[in-house]
Chains A and B, each alone.
Chain A
Amino acid sequence: MASFHFELVSPDKLLFNGEAEDVLVPGTEGDFVVLRDHAPVMTSLRPGIVDIGEAQGKHTRLFVRGGFADVSAAGLILLAETAIPVDELSAERLGGEIKDAEEDLADATEDQKRLAQEKLDRLKELKDALKI
C-alpha cells in the first residue's frame, strides 16, 4: 500500500513523524481514515483514538484530546492539545480528563454548553470502550 507523510504533534513534543499507510482520525463530525492522496481537509478533533497504520501492518494507537487535523498535498498533520499513547493511558488519567471536561462544562456559557457536553459524553464513552 502506498504511504504518505504523517506528523502528530502536541505542544510538548513531536510524537510521530514519518510515513504512514492509513490513519484513523477522530474528527468532530465523525471519524475518518486518511489514505494517500486524500483531498485537502481541515477539521477539528474530538476526544478519541488515533490509529496509525504503518508498513507491515504495524499499528500504533494514541489517545488525543482537542486540536486539529490538516490534510494537504504534503500529507497529514495532527495538532493535538493532548496526546497520550494508549498503552500509557490509565484509568486515573482518563478520570482526570473527565474531571477537566466536567469543570469546563460547569464554566461554559450557554452556546458553548453543547460542545462541552458532547466532549464529556465522548470521554465517558471512551472510558467504557477501553474497559479501564
Chain B
Amino acid sequence: MPSLKDLRNRIASVKSTQKITKAMQMVAVAKLRRAQAAAEAARPYAERIETVLTNLAGGAVDGAQGPKLLTGTGAQQTHLLLVCTGERGLCGAFNTSIVRLAREKANALIAQGKTIKIICVGKKGYDQLRRTFEKQIIDLVDLRAVRTLGYANAQPIAKKVLDLFEAGEFDVCTLFYARFKSVIAQIPTAQQLIPPEFEKSDENAPTYDYEPEEGEILAQLLPSAVAVRIYRALLENMASFYGSQMSAMDNATRNAGEMIKKLTQRYNRTRQAMITKELIEIISGAEAL
C-alpha cells in the first residue's frame, strides 16, 4: 500500500507528463497546419511536371530508345530502397509502419535472390532498419537540422540517387513514405521512382515543337521529376508525422487524465480511511476511560 506521500508524488509526476504531452499536441497541431499548407503548395508543380512528363514520355517511348532514366536499365537485379521516415519519435506508429513496409519489401526481394541497397532519410528509420539490414544501408540523410523543408532539401537526395544510378549501382529505385490522407489516417506507401511509372493517358498528346531537342529536354526533365517526387514524399511525410504525433499526444494526454483521476480517487480514499481510523482510535480510547 503506497503511502499518501507516494501517491501525491505520483499524481504530481503524471500531471507534469500530461502538461508536456498536451503542449506537444498543440505544437503538432500548429506544425501540421503549416506542413499541410506546404504540401498543398507543392501539389500544382508536381502535378504539372507529371503531365508534362507523361506527354513527353508517350512520344519518346514509341520512338527511338528513350533515356535509361525513363525506360530503366532493362535489368531488375539490384534494388535501391529510399526509406523516408521522421527524425523524431513520440509519434505513434508513424515510423514503425513505414519501416515495416520497407522491411517486407526488402525481405521479399531478398527471397527472390535480388540485391538490395538502402538509403535512409531520417534517423528513426535508420535506427530501426540497422538491426536487420546493417550491411545493406549505404547512406543516411539527416534532416534533423532542417527547420522548414524546402525544395533545396530534396535536391541533394535526388542527386545522390541519380549519381548512383549513373554509376550503375542499382536498376530499380523505390521510395517509401507515409501518404497523408487525413489527420487520423496516414498510409505507408511504396512508389517506384526509377524507372517512373505513369498512368497511361488515352488522349493524344498535342504535337509539340521542342526547343532544344526532345531528348535534351527529357534529359533535363527526368532528374527534376525525381527531385520533385522526393520533395513531395518528404512534404507528405512531414504532414503525416505531425498528424500522427498529434493523435498520439492526444491519446497520451487523455490517458494521463484517466490515470490522474484514478490516482486521485485512491489518494482520497486512503486519506479518508486514515481519518476514520484515527477517529475510531480516539473514540475507543475515550470510551475506555
Q: Do chains A and B stick together as partners? A: yes
Residues of A at the B interface (CB closer than 8 Å) are 7, 9-14, 17, 27-29, 39-44, 66-68, 70, 72-73, 77, 79, 81
Cβ B45 vs Cβ A40 within 8 A: no
Per-position 1/0 for B44-56, Cβ under 8 A of A: 1110110110011
Chain A contact surface mostly: strand
Given the complex of chains A and B, what is the CA–CA distance between A7 and B49 in angstroms? 13
From residue 24 to 45 of chain B, which have CB atoms closer than 8 A to chain A? 38, 41-42, 44-45
Cβ B212 vs Cβ A44 within 8 A: yes
Total interface residues in chain B, CB < 8 Å: 29
19 pairs, A vs B, C-beta closer than 8 Å: A7-B44, A9-B44, A9-B45, A11-B231, A12-B45, A27-B211, A29-B211, A40-B209, A42-B52, A42-B208, A42-B210, A42-B211, A44-B211, A44-B217, A68-B52, A70-B48, A70-B55, A77-B48, A79-B49
B65 interfacial contact with A, CB 8 Å: no
Which residues from chain B contact A39 at a C-beta distance below 8 Å?
209
Given the complex of chains A and B, what is the CA–CA distance between A70 and B231 in angstroms? 22
Given the complex of chains A and B, what is the CA–CA distance between A36 and B98 in angstroms? 47
B42 CB to nearest chain A CB (Å)? 6
**Nearest chain-A residue to B210 (Cβ)?**
A42
Q: Which of B48, B208, B224 contacts A81 (CB 8 A)?
A: B224
A40-B217 in contact given A7-B44, A81-B151 (Cβ < 8 Å): no
Cβ B212 vs Cβ A79 within 8 A: no
